[in-house]
Amino acid sequence: MFTKITTTPKKLIKTLIGIITYPFYQISYLNCTTKKFTPTDGRYAIVHLDRHLTGDDYSRYFYSICMYFSSAGFQVVVKSYLRDFRNISKVGFQENIWNENYIFVRNCSTPVNSVTLLQPGIPEHVIQFFYGYNVLRQGSYDCVAPYPMHPNQYKSYLDPIFHDELRKSKRTMKISFSGKAKERMYADIRVKTFFNVSSRLEVLQFIIAQYSEKTSHLKSEPDKLILHQLLNSVDKTNEIIISEVKTEEKDWLNFLWKSDFFICPPGARMPWSHNCVEAMSAGAIPILEYGSLFRPSLQHKKNCLSYTNLEELKSAIDTALAMEPHEIEIMRKHVFDYYTQYLSGDSITRRIDEFSRSPRSLLTVAIPFVPTIKEWRLIPWLG
């Protein structure tokens, strides 16, 4: 008796495309990589990450790691695989990585999830990464990786002229939020699975309901005109601005630099969000539920306004609305100080450089915002 094998046309087409395109990808991969890296004089960072850490969140963290080492003065060498080359996507950062001036190798001695630092006349230094939502409960590490700002915004901060222009912005918005708030992505169940915090959607809907007369909610295409007016206004408003209208990339940091306080609800599947780090980089005081997840923890009424439930969220919003300008300036200074010391790209590259010149040979780093494969499979996905 024969077993009937059924294959859907879509699967069959996908299989055939894979067979046909494989030689092309293989040839291109071989042309873009070298078999083995041979160092010459110079400083090199050989990056070797596993498939999950490389690909998580469209390779955003992979790209950030590479940029940090490049900014610290190292030529980045990436251990690459054919699968990485085939996964290059215009919606992610793989394409950005391949377009950088990095060296791509097919073989290296750097252990997986590690970076080896090579420098003339100095013994090798190794940075080893451990990741997972529960990683901090599972061991002791030399340091905890701060959540990175979006790679595109990080590049903006590397431009001193652009940064100086931002500092001239006049603060005109008392409390603001800008970002996505789609129910499919930001509903309650995902961030409560591991972190038990209120979802972005829940936070925003609560504020809109409680402060309906004080809130301007921008959510449709015609509201882009209002957003543009806010960005160019020099008049102070004591309202709450909640914008779901996508800002142009060049205007995003300007929006943050015009805000006294920024509402920092969770991301889609974890509390951390690049919006919060970018807000702090602009001196916008974060209003958030997860200040304890920062290392060191953010402090209520010093460098953030924190809450643990919706009642406390209301109290935080009331505090922000009533706060006097001189009180805001004191908090803003603490926010800038915290960002500069613990979150900025300069602080990270400085720590990399200090370690590379130290007598220590190994540094262990915990990354608590990337789930393990097991944790990833437990995250509820919304249809």
In a domain, 1, yes or no: no
pLDDT band at 1 (very low <50, low <70, confident <90, very high): very low
Phi-psi label, residue 347: left if phi above 0, alpha if psi -120 to 50, beta otherwise: alpha
pLDDT above 60 (res 2) = no
Read off the pLDDT of each residue in 268-282 and give the average, rounded to a whole number: 93
Would you list the DSSP string of 312-342?
HHHHHHHHHHH--HHHHHHHHHHHHHHIIII
In a domain, 12, yes or no: no
Would you list the DSSP string of 170-209?
---EEEEEES---HHHH-HHHHHHHS----HHHHHHHHHH
Looking at the structure, do residues 215 and 310 belong to the same domain, yes or no?
yes
Residue-wise pLDDT for 9-26, tens only, equals 777 766 666 666 667 677
Among candidates 202, 218, 199, which has minimal Cα distance to 210?
202
Cα-flanking dihedrals φ and ψ of residue 285, to 5°? -75, 125
Residue-wise pLDDT for 32-65, tens only, equals 889 988 888 899 999 999 999 998 988 999 999 9
Q: Which domain holds residue 202?
A: 151-345
Looking at the structure, do residues 218 and 259 belong to the same domain, yes or no?
yes
21 or 355: which leads in pLDDT: 355
pLDDT above 70 (res 103) = yes
Looking at the structure, do residues 212 and 197 belong to the same domain, yes or no?
yes
Looking at the structure, do residues 225 and 306 belong to the same domain, yes or no?
yes
Looking at the structure, do residues 244 and 104 belong to the same domain, yes or no?
no
pLDDT band at 29 (very low <50, low <70, confident <90, very high): confident
In a domain, 14, yes or no: no
In a domain, 124, yes or no: yes
Residue 195: its pLDDT value, please? Answer: 92
DSSP assignment letter at 286: E
232 or 322: which leads in pLDDT: 322
pLDDT above 90 (res 164) = no
Looking at the structure, do residues 144 and 155 belong to the same domain, yes or no?
no
Residue-wise pLDDT for 294-335, tens only, equals 999 999 999 999 999 999 999 999 999 999 999 999 999 999
In a domain, 163, yes or no: yes
**Beta 215-218 vs 173-178: how paired, if at all?**
unpaired
pLDDT band at 91 (very low <50, low <70, confident <90, very high): low
Looking at the structure, do residues 131 and 266 belong to the same domain, yes or no?
no
Looking at the structure, do residues 120 and 195 belong to the same domain, yes or no?
no
Looking at the structure, do residues 364 and 246 belong to the same domain, yes or no?
no
Residue 266: its pLDDT value, please? Answer: 94
Residue 83: its pLDDT value, please? Answer: 78
In a domain, 10, yes or no: no
Q: For the domain that residue 252 is a member of, what is the CATH number?
A: 3.40.50.2000
Looking at the structure, do residues 78 and 94 belong to the same domain, yes or no?
yes
Would you list the DSSP string of 36-84?
E----SS-EEEEE--HHHHHHHHHHHHHHHHHHHHHTT-EEEEE--HHH
Looking at the structure, do residues 61 and 87 belong to the same domain, yes or no?
yes
Among 30-39, 97-106, 285-294, 312-321, the minimum mean pLDDT is found in 30-39
**Number of domains forming the structure of the chain:** 2
pLDDT above 80 (res 382) = no
pLDDT above 80 (res 383) = no
pLDDT band at 346 (very low <50, low <70, confident <90, very high): very high
